[in-house]
């Protein structure tokens, strides 16, 4: 039955069209940065290193900042041959030159009338339409901004389910799976090792006037706190152990891949620009799946008063994911999958769905050679792991099923 379902899903996955709204990146952020460095005038400024990137519309927004942090240079590099848009953000006290209106008009040189003055402590800025002059420095215009992918209602529901999951695992503890504890610990450790690279995915951390090492330290500290909390949670609220849902894992993997194809998450395209992307994806899949199972446990406990309530709740959750979820579809599906099966299978199902969703999203959005190759490798790795699990026919190990709650 599960095998048949997997085959059908695999067929559907192959033929499902990529939505027209999905912006497929044809080149890597690294290439985009190289192009911007070639095409944008240097402005007489030291650009510094590439600090981060973000997929925005049909292009990459790439960020540079020198080590002293006094300015930020960002460029939006479109996929096609359209010109690169750029912008300079300088610290409020730079560059220290207070140009009179006439000099500002002469410097802009377009015959436009300077519209608005902005007084600052150390300089005077001028705004002309969408263009700006920071003191005496032409600073480009506004760059395209990313459409928000926030789904406040669904995010609130998922956060509530996470809290409910924590409470339910604390108050109704099952037999804890030692393997999942170790897996979460190892995953967090591996992810912590990639932190120096991960700050590139949070370009909002960098600010003009703040040195980049401080921004990276802030990001790293936040990440360490978050990862530490996850390790702590894996000890205090361990995932329940149990048998492996061998038949359902391929279905979950395929369903996740399908969700990634239908509603890819733009943020995951950014992870394809990392050099350690395969490791990061694997860690995200394990942690995401573990968290999805967490929320699934909360859901299960909330609707366990009646069997019909569980079915209605699951349908409602899935419908919300499909209709309202957008890029959160994969996560919602993972929570629903974890809640739909028996408690000991939840984490397996969550990990499989998230694994497939990451592979599907990256496969759909990141279309340059290295990313396509690695997303395929990631998907195949998931299939191989499922196959190995199936062949070994993993049985519950009595040692790993010991009730060893802290």
Partner 1 sequence: MSRVGYLLGVVLALVAAAAAVALVRGRGVSGEAQAISIARTAFARVLYEPIGEPSATMEGEQGLAWALERAHPGPAGVALARKEGGAVRWRVIFPGGGQAEVTADGVVWSLRRPVPSSPGADLYPSLARSRIEAALELAVPDAAAWRLVRAQSWPEGRHIWQRGWFEGGAGALPSGWRQELQLEMVGSSVVSWQRSVLPLGTDLGVVTGRMAELRLLRRPAILGLGILMIGIFVAAAEAVAYRESTAILRGLAYGLTTALAGTLSSDTLVAAPILGVVLAVVIALMPGWTDLPPTRLRFGPAMGVALAALILGGRSFILGAGGWIPMTAPMPADTSATRLLAESWLPALVEEPLLRGALPALAAPVVGWWGAALLAAPVGALLHPLPSVPLLSSLALELVLQAGLAVVARSSGVGGAVLARGTYEALVRRASFPVGSEWDRMALVGVVLGTVLLLWPRRTE
Interface with partner 1 (CB under 8 A)? 69-70, 91-96, 98, 121-122, 163, 166-167, 170-171, 205, 207, 209-211, 214-215, 217-218, 221-222, 225-226, 229, 232, 235-236, 406
Instruction: Give the C-alpha separation, 224 to 226, whole Å.
Output: 5
**Could you tell me the smallest distance in angstroms from the CB atom of residue 9 to partner 1?**
36
Residue 219 or 363 having the CB closest to partner 1 = 219
Residue 234 or 332 having the CB closest to partner 1 = 234
**Could you tell me the smallest distance in angstroms from the CB atom of residue 381 to partner 1?**
32
- Centre a 10 Å sphere on the Cβ of residue 139 and count the other Cβ atoms it contains: 20
Instruction: Give the C-alpha separation, 77 to 88, whole Å.
Output: 15
Identify which of 391, 103, 140, 107 has the alpha carbon closest to the alpha carbon of residue 244.
391
- Centre a 10 Å sphere on the Cβ of residue 49 and count the other Cβ atoms it contains: 12
Residue 138 or 160 having the CB closest to partner 1 = 160
Residue 180 or 378 having the CB closest to partner 1 = 180
Instruction: Give the C-alpha separation, 28 to 187, whole Å.
Output: 26
Residue 37 or 207 having the CB closest to partner 1 = 207
R_g of the chain, CA atoms, integer Å: 25
**Could you tell me the smallest distance in angstroms from the CB atom of residue 258 to partner 1?**
32
**Could you tell me the smallest distance in angstroms from the CB atom of residue 309 to partner 1?**
21
**Could you tell me the smallest distance in angstroms from the CB atom of residue 337 to partner 1?**
24
Instruction: Give the C-alpha separation, 35 to 85, whole Å.
Output: 12
**Could you tell me the smallest distance in angstroms from the CB atom of residue 308 to partner 1?**
26
Identify which of 191, 158, 172, 209 has the alpha carbon closest to the alpha carbon of residue 334.
158
Q: How far apart are the first and last CA of the chain?
A: 39
Within the chain, how many helices (H) and strands (E) appear? 14, 8
Say if residues 322 and 303 touch (Cβ distance below 8 Å): no
Identify which of 212, 266, 224, 247 has the alpha carbon closest to the alpha carbon of residue 342.
247
Sheet with 85-90: strands ordered across:
49-56, 59-65, 71-78, 85-90
**Could you tell me the smallest distance in angstroms from the CB atom of residue 158 to partner 1?**
14
**Could you tell me the smallest distance in angstroms from the CB atom of residue 229 to partner 1?**
5
**Could you tell me the smallest distance in angstroms from the CB atom of residue 207 to partner 1?**
6
Say if residues 22 and 50 touch (Cβ distance below 8 Å): no
Residue 211 or 310 having the CB closest to partner 1 = 211
Instruction: Give the C-alpha separation, 356 to 250, whole Å.
Output: 9
**Could you tell me the smallest distance in angstroms from the CB atom of residue 170 to partner 1?**
6
β-pair type (49-56, 137-138): unpaired
Residue 113 or 121 having the CB closest to partner 1 = 121
Q: What are phi and psi of 310, to 5 degrees?
A: -65, -45
Residue 40 or 231 having the CB closest to partner 1 = 231
Q: What is the DSSP string of 77-114?
A: EESSSSPPEEEEEE-TT-S--B--HHHHHHHH-SSPPP
Total count of residues recorded for the chain: 406
């Amino acid at each position: 039955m599960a095998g048949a379902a997997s085959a059908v899903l695999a067929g559907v996955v192959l033929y499902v069209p990529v939505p027209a709204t999905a912006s497929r990146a044809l080149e890597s952020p690294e290439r985009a940065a190289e192009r911007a460095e070639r095409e944008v005038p240097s402005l007489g400024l030291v650009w510094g290193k590439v600090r981060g990137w973000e997929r925005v519309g049909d292009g990459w927004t790439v960020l540079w900042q020198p080590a002293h942090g006094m300015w930020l240079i960002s460029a939006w590099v479109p996929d096609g041959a359209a010109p690169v848009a750029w912008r300079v953000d300088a610290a409020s006290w730079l560059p220290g030159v207070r140009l009179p209106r006439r000099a500002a008009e002469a410097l802009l040189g377009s015959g436009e009338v300077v519209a608005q003055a902005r007084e600052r402590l150390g300089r005077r800025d001028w705004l002309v339409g969408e263009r700006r002059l920071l003191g005496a420095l032409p600073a480009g215009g506004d760059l395209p901004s990313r459409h928000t992918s926030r789904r406040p209602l669904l995010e609130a529901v998922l956060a509530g389910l996470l809290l409910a999951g924590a409470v339910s695992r604390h108050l109704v503890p099952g037999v804890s799976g030692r393997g999942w504890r170790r897996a979460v610990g190892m995953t967090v450790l591996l992810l912590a090792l990639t932190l120096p690279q991960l700050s590139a995915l949070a370009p909002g951390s960098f600010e003009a006037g703040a040195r980049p090492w401080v921004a990276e330290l802030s990001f790293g500290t936040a990440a360490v706190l978050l990862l530490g909390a996850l390790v702590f949670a894996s000890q205090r609220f361990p995932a329940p152990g149990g048998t492996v849902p061998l038949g359902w894992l391929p279905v979950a993997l395929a369903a996740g891949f399908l969700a990634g194809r239908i509603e890819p998450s733009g943020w995951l395209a950014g992870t394809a620009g990392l050099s350690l992307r395969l490791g990061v994806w694997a860690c995200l899949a394990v942690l995401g799946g573990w968290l999805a199972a967490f929320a699934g446990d909360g859901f299960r406990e909330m609707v366990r008063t009646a069997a019909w309530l569980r079915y209605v709740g699951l349908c409602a959750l899935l419908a919300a994911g499909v209709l309202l979820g957008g890029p959160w579809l994969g996560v919602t599906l993972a929570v629903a999958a974890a809640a739909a099966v028996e408690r000991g299978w939840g984490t397996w199902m969550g990990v499989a769905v998230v694994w497939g969703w990451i592979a599907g999203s990256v496969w759909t959005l990141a279309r340059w050679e290295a990313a396509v190759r690695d997303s395929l490798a990631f998907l195949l790795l998931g299939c191989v792991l499922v196959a190995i699990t199936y062949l070994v026919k993993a049985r519950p190990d009595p040692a790993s099923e010991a009730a060893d709650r802290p």
